Amino acid sequence: MKIAVVGTGYVGLVVGACFAETGNDVVCVDNNERKIRSLQRGRMSVFEPGLEELVRRNRLKGRLRFSTALGKAVRDAAVVFIAVGTPSDEDGSADVRHVLTAARAVAGAINGYTVIGLKSTVPVGTAERVSTLVGSETSIPFSVVSNPEFLKQGSAVEDFLRPDRVVIGTLDDDRASEVLRLLYAPFTRTGAPIAVMDCASAELSKYAANAMLATRVSFMNEVANVCERVGANVDDVRKVVASDQRIGPSFLFPGIGYGGSCFPKDVRALATTAREADYQFHILEAVESVNGSQKRRFFEKMQRVLGSLKGKHIAVWGLAFKPRTDDMREAPSVDLIEALLGAGARVTAYDPEARESARAIFGDRVTLAVRSYDAVKDSDALAIVTEWNEFREPNFGRVLELMRSPVVFDGRNLYETEHMESLGFSYYSIGR
């Protein structure tokens, strides 16, 4: 099938490469010329495990191309996916401006029946809005389908190739859902369900899933905070909760709050959708506020222990909002580092993949170390913010030797308290 993907970011690039992998002829389009030029030269625009190899292989086979020429890519495509960003607007709602701009451009280019699949996470009503917009711009037949994406950064390729489910929302057009069914068939052979429903349900289901995951995180962070006050250990509590089959173990790890380009904005957007429908989504409002205070609490803990931060040298391990990505959008590290800098501290940070993202955010206000051990040299404290695997079993002897004072604030509970104390660290974690 000929496919165009409009928006070549974390989602668009993975979607395009994976559809090329199953033999389709894919053009990934973006209006960011630099991004497209670099992809055309074989340089990856984002870090995502397994993606570089997938892109390289499919480019070599001629099944995957990159372009800024939307019209040319869309013409003759049987399916056009829109995978542009939908950031938070000032009032918390999802800003669908890029989706509408892309849809208008697609409308001007199609020249035969085309399925327009909305991959971006969009509020209820957007598919209908896009359908009306496209219909007002062209007389060529088309069908808009809601096809929310559930991949996770850090395992995006794996997730797309082996989805838990595929969601297709239609505006009463069986032909369109059949086209998508065909396209997804190679990924659902293992039995993953393809759930076909109306567009509103498809659009809402994506927000509901993300909001549920964020709720688990905030819930467990609050449990951890109670643990700290009553002398309980959240590790033990978590294991008991997680072993209940009705609950399960995912997304129950306490930490310094969720971040990324999806949870924060999707929680806000769903709460806003509810408010606009005259319903106050109390739980989600709490989920967001708990997340904000969880980030602040970590900084306040550092302040309490270290006293004045003025002139102190703080090492930070982990900048990306989660491991296995270079993405720092709404990462807890950003809030923490801004607070540290604001309090007069000097920060040296290390992340295996997010150096460029960090440079774009902090410029030269933060020193970016090339190795984890370089970051801790002469530091007054180490803050662990992202649970990259390489932080799990470091050479503690070397860390002790390099630090000026052996104080560790672990925002991800990577180590055992007793072990750290026996090594000579002052060790502070979450809920223990």
Closer residue to ligand NAD in complex, CB, 102/130: 102
Q: Which two tokens stand for residue 312?
A: 């102190």
Among 3, 5, 6, 368, binds ligand NAD (CB under 6 A): 6
235 contributes a contact to ligand NAD by CB under 6 A: no
Other C-beta atoms lying within 10 Å of the C-beta of residue 431: 22
Q: H-helix or E-strand containing 66?
A: strand 64-67
Among 58, 88, 93, 120, binds ligand NAD (CB under 6 A): 120
262 is catalytic: yes
Among 149, 203, 288, 351, binds ligand NAD (CB under 6 A): 149
Among 10, 253, 258, 428, binds ligand NAD (CB under 6 A): 10
Among 4, 5, 28, 29, binds ligand NAD (CB under 6 A): 29
What lies within 8 Å, CB to CB, of 240 at 6+ separation is none
What lies within 8 Å, CB to CB, of 382 at 6+ separation is 314, 315, 316, 317, 375, 376, 399, 403, 407, 408, 409
Residues 70-89 that bind ligand NAD (CB under 6 A): 83-86
Place of tokens 């993907």: 5
- From 169, 123, 119, select the one nearest 143 (Cα to Cα): 169
405 contributes a contact to ligand NAD by CB under 6 A: no
Residues 90-109 that bind ligand NAD (CB under 6 A): 98, 101-102
32 contributes a contact to ligand NAD by CB under 6 A: yes
How far apart (Å, rounded) are the C-alpha atoms in residues 352 and 368? 11
Place of tokens 């806003």: 272
Closer residue to ligand NAD in complex, CB, 13/337: 13
Among 58, 143, 177, 261, binds ligand NAD (CB under 6 A): 261
320 contributes a contact to ligand NAD by CB under 6 A: no
DSSP line for 152-199? -TTSHHHHHHS-S-EEEEESS-HHHHHHHHHHHGGGSTT---EEEEEH
Size of residue set near ligand NAD by CB under 6 A: 27
211 contributes a contact to ligand NAD by CB under 6 A: no
Q: Which residues, in sequence order, are bridge partners of residue 66? A: 28
How far apart (Å, rounded) are the C-alpha atoms in residues 87 and 425? 41
151 contributes a contact to ligand NAD by CB under 6 A: yes
30 contributes a contact to ligand NAD by CB under 6 A: yes
Q: In the complex, which residues of this chain contact ligand NAD (CB under 6 A)?
A: 6-12, 29-32, 35, 83-86, 98, 101-102, 119-121, 149, 151, 153, 261-262
Catalytic positions, please?
262
